[in-house]
Structures are given as C-alpha cells and as structure tokens.
A = this chain, B = another copy of it.
C-alpha cells in the first residue's frame, strides 16, 4: 500500500478509536513508524487528512445512495439504503462526533459538507418519493416530504452521539456496529405512520429486527 493510503487508513482507525481531538499528526506518524516529515510530505496538516477522509466518505455515499427517479421503490430498496447509510456511519464514525469543530476550522470542508448534506437530503426525498410511487408510503405533500427527510437526517446523524451517551456508564462507552445499526429502528419509526395498510405488517416486522437495546438506566424513560 502506498504511504499516502496507509496514512489515511491509520488516521481513520485512530480517529474512530480515540476521537479526532485526541489524535495528532505525531501520533499518526508514530503509529505507522514513519517520520512526521514523511507524513507532512503527503498532507499539509491534520485538517488536510480529515478533508481527504471526508472525500472518501462522500464517494462511498455517492456509490450507494443514488436513488433511481424513473421507477417506484420496493421495501428491499429501502432496506438496502438504510443498511448502507448505517454502514457508512460505522466506517467513518468519528466524523459526525466532532463535526461542528471540524467545520469551524476548515472552510473547504464546511462548504463541501454543506453541499453533501443537501445532496443527501435530496436523495432521502427521492427515496420517500419512490416509496410513495411504489404504494408503500401513502401520498404526502412536498412540504411534508421535505420536513420528513430532514428529520430522517437529524435522527441518522445524531444516533451515534445518543448511543455514546446512553452507554456512558459502561466503561469506555464503545459502541458496536450492531448497536449503531439499531438506528434503523428509529428511522423506520419516522415513516411508520405513513406506511400504507397493505405494507404495514411487513414494515413493522422488519423494523422489529432493529429494536435498540438500551442499558438499564433507560427504564426511567418507561417509568410511568
């Protein structure tokens, strides 16, 4: 593997494990057994590494989240998109954690992440539209669709942070890929009331597979 690719791979792993804020370019170089000078030959600074990782993340999302506009969507399509989105979140899980700070320090990232957000919102809307045309979601207005898509985005991008909070009492609060995938339950909850009678039971059953397992303390939320 080329040094540049090794730097990116190691950076992503370290950011995911330790949080971007706790990882310096010196850590990354030491981890790879290369000199800081060698690292700086490939990347100007840490922000440059982060931006390059963002481009990889975006390329991944662009690969799977291209929603056909010329045919209705099936439940299988929908589940593929959801699984892919949460897979992407898992592989680049450091990204949404310290995002606000990353965005304040790199104008290029701020601009491109903003466009990426709106592009994702457009694709989420295309999914909702395709499911409506497929008879899976009942008819809803453009305004409703826009607001629903935005809520899906807010739920997806905040799910990891919530898990970290919920599991805070359990040692280092490491979250598994399985737990992250359970965010699919929350996204399907958003759409459940719009599912047509014909598909209601099928979607309910699918959703059930992802029911989040929250820790003990969470019973407070059910104590009436």
Chain A contacts to B: CB under 8 angstroms: 19, 21-22, 69, 97-101, 103-104, 110-111, 113-115, 117-119, 121-122, 125-126, 129, 142, 144, 146-151, 153-155, 157-159, 161-162, 164-166, 168-169, 173, 185-186, 189-190, 192-194, 212, 217-218, 220-224
Least CB distance, A141 to chain B, in whole angstroms? 11
Least CB distance, A128 to chain B, in whole angstroms? 11
- Supposing A114-B217, A118-B221, A129-B224 touch, asked if A164 and B103 sit within 8 A by C-beta, the answer is yes
Which one, B110, B129, B162, B224, contacts A126 given CB within 8 A? B224
* A220 neighbours in B (Cβ, 8 Å): 115, 118-119, 121-122
- Contact call B169/A114, Cβ cutoff below 8 A: yes
Q: Which of A69, A153, A168 has the most C-beta atoms of chain B within 10 angstroms of its own C-beta?
A: A168
* A122 neighbours in B (Cβ, 8 Å): 220-223
* A186 neighbours in B (Cβ, 8 Å): 147, 150-151, 154
Oligomer copy total: 2
> In whole angstroms, what is the CA distance A149 to B165 when docked?
16
* A155 neighbours in B (Cβ, 8 Å): 151, 154-155, 158
- Contact call B97/A151, Cβ cutoff below 8 A: no
- Contact call B111/A169, Cβ cutoff below 8 A: yes
- Contact call B158/A101, Cβ cutoff below 8 A: no
- Contact call B150/A154, Cβ cutoff below 8 A: no
12 residue pairs bridging A and B, Cβ less than 8 Å apart: A19-B100, A103-B168, A111-B168, A111-B169, A114-B169, A118-B217, A119-B220, A125-B221, A126-B224, A147-B185, A150-B162, A151-B190
- Supposing A147-B186, A190-B190 touch, asked if A69 and B162 sit within 8 A by C-beta, the answer is no
